[in-house]
Amino acid sequence: MNEARDVREPALSTMLRMLVYALTAGVFAWPLSVAEGVIAAAVGAGLGSLVGRRVASTRVRTPVVMIGAFVALGVSIAFADFVVGSAAAASLLGPSLALRAGEAAAFGVGALVVGSAVRLLSARRRSLAVIEIALIATSFAALVVAHRNYAIHRPFEIADWFLVRGGNPEYGMLGIGALAGLVIGLLLLSERSFLRSAVHLGVAACLLALILGTTAIAGLPPPQSGGDGLNLRNDTGRAEREAQGQGQSQGGAGGPDFQDEYDQSGSQTPLAIALLHDDYSPPSGVYYFRQESFSQYNGRRLIAAGISGVDDDVASGFPTRTIDIPGAPDTGAWRTTVETTVGLLAEHPRPFGLESPIQLVPVENPDRGRFRRTYRVRSAVLTSDEWGLLGRTAGSPAWSEEIRAHYTRGPSDPRYGELAQRILGEVPEDLRVDPIVRAFAITQWLGREGTYSLRSRHASAEDPTAHFLFGDLTGYCVHFAHAAVYLMRAAGLPARVSTGYMVPESSRRGGSAILIAGGNSHAWPEVYLDGVGWVVVDVVPERSLDPPPGPADEALQQLLAEMLRGLRPLPEDGSEAPRAFDQILDDVRGPLAIGLAALLGSLVLLGYAIKAWRRLAGSVSPSPHTVYRAALDQLASSGVVREWGESREAFAWRVRRELPSLAKLTTSHAAVAWGSKRRSDDARALLATKSELGRELAKTIPWWRRALGALNPYSWLLSR
């Protein structure tokens, strides 16, 4: 069977396809090879598009070509391995040159073979053009895949160029994505018309400029932090659930959700960076950043308190001036003050602070395009371990009976009290009455008996905590925190659930910066001790069905810390800092504006030139074709055009009353198109008919509309 196909196309379409192939191969090879390999891949792929088009027009069968392509690809790889691994080649060319030659041979020949095969398939089977699109998307995606999860410092080859100049690497990633879309658009819009391809190229470039321009004005979007079952961030998913009636089944608003499938999709996405201004090492080895606390039992779970004088140590909003937290604990034998600066990368409804904030202070945002909010927190942090808290009584003498009852109210299910007494029965009698011992006995029992898992089946139960605690004891932090608080309250201890972020001290890596990611979201129980305040008594399950979140990216942590300090990273090789990105923009802004203006002016002049040539050709060299084309251009300039799918004869019939002369020109053009030999003296008749058409048009179309059409340099594009 003959598979040859006529693949003739205009020169612009051919050049555009070569450019698309070359860019795709170069982008694919850039992270994998040296400069010689990248150049060879681009050249090879561009030539491959030509070779594939030529082969597609021959009688060679597609399977034969594909087999030959695989053989050639294998030979090129084997030759490259030989050049790189051969002692003779290394001694003749030198190790470095041999490596570069091998890379150039492998990527150049490989790109030539692959480009030829792909172009052959797309030319012979239009549906297989999807392979071209898939290769383009894969190549560009592989280039920026390291940038996922808000890793703004990756890939290093791109990000470093922006960072050392004080620029935003995300604009580079956006440019790469826009370039990929432009390349795919050029491939899809590549047609057999020179003019249409040129117009589509201009439209694609304008759309690209529009995207980049609007992004520069509106700013880049914040990182997508994925699921937020603890409601620490502005969670639209939660609002949607409540609007659909699921919020009530979750127990009402104002607290962390019980979920059967906890979404961890954004666990690696950075949400904030905190800078320690004091060298503080927590006794537990973990930093707790509290954002909200929940102490009011609503019959199903704990929600935010609705009475005054309760949980007033939680900040209600971001500071616009210095704010002193009224219910914050005092410093003394058990606490000291630590100051931190927090830069939020994602939106949060309220500020969070290390352990127990006592003061919030607004600070200047060093990078508004990066940080959503910045503020400084002074916190009263715990310096004593649990043994140092022995002997402290539970609650505060200043509390009223109503407040004490509020913090000790829990479910009426008697099983909570029975289990609490059974747990405390294991504690030595001389320590059993101490509040901190009772609290830790409960959390240690839960950690020993429970299993941590992000998948459970408790959310639909009437009492999810009871279903968890007296069932399989499998759940995540929300289940453990509620169970611990209910058991503590059953044992007479004032307790509550707090939410925020938990970050291991090891994440600091000896520095002062703490990177907070989505996986650090956490809920924990707290107990109140007189003179100490609210103390974190967290549950640490000994068994887990889910792996812990990965460690923070040290390079990203250091980079964000420098940005929050208002510093600019320096090159790692110790060289001088290059010119700032803003200075580069200032230098190129003027020439770029002049260049764009010149380009725009050239396009306008080109449009007028083509318009004049098409009009004059009907008079200088009159023929049925040129005169008819000039007449159609004249009509299009005034807004009279053929509709899509309408034949030329039907168009002339539709406007026959206002423009009867068009039918004569249409007949002459159709006659020549079908092989009629017109006499030379017919030129005068054609021009006379065209002049008559102009007079008819002047009577039909207002002068101002014809004037506007004359000012349009590209009105001829509407001519069909």
- 237 confidence band (pLDDT: 50, 70, 90): very low
Rounded Cα gap, residues 445 and 343, in angstroms: 37
Q: What would the pLDDT profile of 139-183 be if each residue is shown by its tens digit?
A: 888 877 776 667 776 776 777 667 666 667 777 777 777 677 767
Residue 251: pLDDT over 70 = no
Q: What would the pLDDT profile of 41-89 be if each residue is shown by its tens digit?
A: 999 999 988 888 888 888 888 888 888 888 888 887 787 777 667 776 6
Question: Under DSSP, is residue 439 helix (H, G, I), strand (E, B) or coil?
Answer: helix
**C-alpha closest to that of 7 among 132, 124, 116:** 124
**The token pair that represents 440 in the structure block:** 């830790």
Residue 244: pLDDT over 50 = no
Higher per-residue confidence, 476 vs 225: 476
Q: Cα separations (Å) of 189 from 115, 185, 197, 210, 715? A: 19, 6, 7, 19, 21
Rounded Cα gap, residues 588 and 99, in angstroms: 38
Peptide bond into 155 cis (omega under 30): yes
- Amino acid sitting at position 222: P
Stated pTM of the model: 0.68
Residue 677: pLDDT over 70 = no
Q: What angle do CA 9, 14, 19 make, to 5 degrees?
A: 160
Q: Report the pLDDT value the prediction gives residue 262, as an integer from 0 to 100.
A: 80
**The token pair that represents 523 in the structure block:** 């809920």
Q: Is 292 buried (19+), middle (13-18) or exposed (0-12) by CB count in 10 A?
A: buried
Residue 2: pLDDT over 60 = no
Q: Report the pLDDT value the prediction gives residue 529, as an integer from 0 to 100.
A: 95
- 297 confidence band (pLDDT: 50, 70, 90): very high
Q: Is 608 buried (19+), middle (13-18) or exposed (0-12) by CB count in 10 A?
A: middle
- 206 confidence band (pLDDT: 50, 70, 90): low
Residue 218: pLDDT over 60 = no
Q: What would the pLDDT profile of 645-663 be if each residue is shown by its tens digit?
A: 788 888 888 888 888 888 8
Q: What would the pLDDT profile of 510-565 be if each residue is shown by its tens digit?
A: 889 999 998 899 999 999 999 999 999 999 999 999 888 777 788 888 888 888 98
- 293 confidence band (pLDDT: 50, 70, 90): very high
Residue 240: pLDDT over 60 = no
**C-alpha closest to that of 152 among 82, 231, 220, 200:** 220
DSSP character at residue 313: T
Q: Report the pLDDT value the prediction gives residue 645, as an integer from 0 to 100.
A: 78
Q: What would the pLDDT profile of 444-467 be if each residue is shown by its tens digit?
A: 999 999 999 999 999 888 999 999
**The token pair that represents 457 in the structure block:** 């089946």
Q: What is the mean pLDDT of residues 107-119?
A: 88
Q: Report the pLDDT value the prediction gives residue 199, as an integer from 0 to 100.
A: 59
474-475 β-sheet, strand order? 474-475, 451-452, 543-544
Show the DSSP H helices in 391-494 as ranges: 401-408, 414-424, 435-449, 464-469, 477-490
DSSP character at residue 261: B
Q: What angle do CA 549, 555, 561 make, to 5 degrees?
A: 95
Q: Which helix (H) or strand (E) holds 357?
A: strand 357-362
Contact 120, 62 (CB under 8 A): yes
- 479 confidence band (pLDDT: 50, 70, 90): very high
Which of 21-35, 397-411, 494-508 comes out lowest in average pLDDT?
A: 21-35
Instruction: Please enumerate in sequence order all residues whose Cβ is within 8 A of that of 305, keeping only pairs 6 or more positions apart, or say none.
Output: 294, 295, 296, 311, 406
Instruction: Please enumerate in sequence order all residues whose Cβ is within 8 A of that of 525, keeping only pairs 6 or more positions apart, or say none.
Output: 439, 443, 480, 481, 484, 485, 488, 495, 496, 497, 498, 536, 537, 538, 539
Q: Cα separations (Å) of 337 from 3, 280, 314? A: 81, 9, 17
Q: Report the pLDDT value the prediction gives residue 419, as an integer from 0 to 100.
A: 96
- DSSP string across 373-416: EEEEEEEEEE-S-GGGGTTPPBS-TT--HHHHHHHH-----HHH
Q: Cα separations (Å) of 110 from 78, 80, 190, 335? A: 11, 10, 25, 66
Q: What would the pLDDT profile of 326-375 be if each residue is shown by its tens digit?
A: 888 888 889 999 999 999 998 899 999 999 999 999 999 988 878 999 99
CA 328, 330, 336, 341 dihedral sign is positive
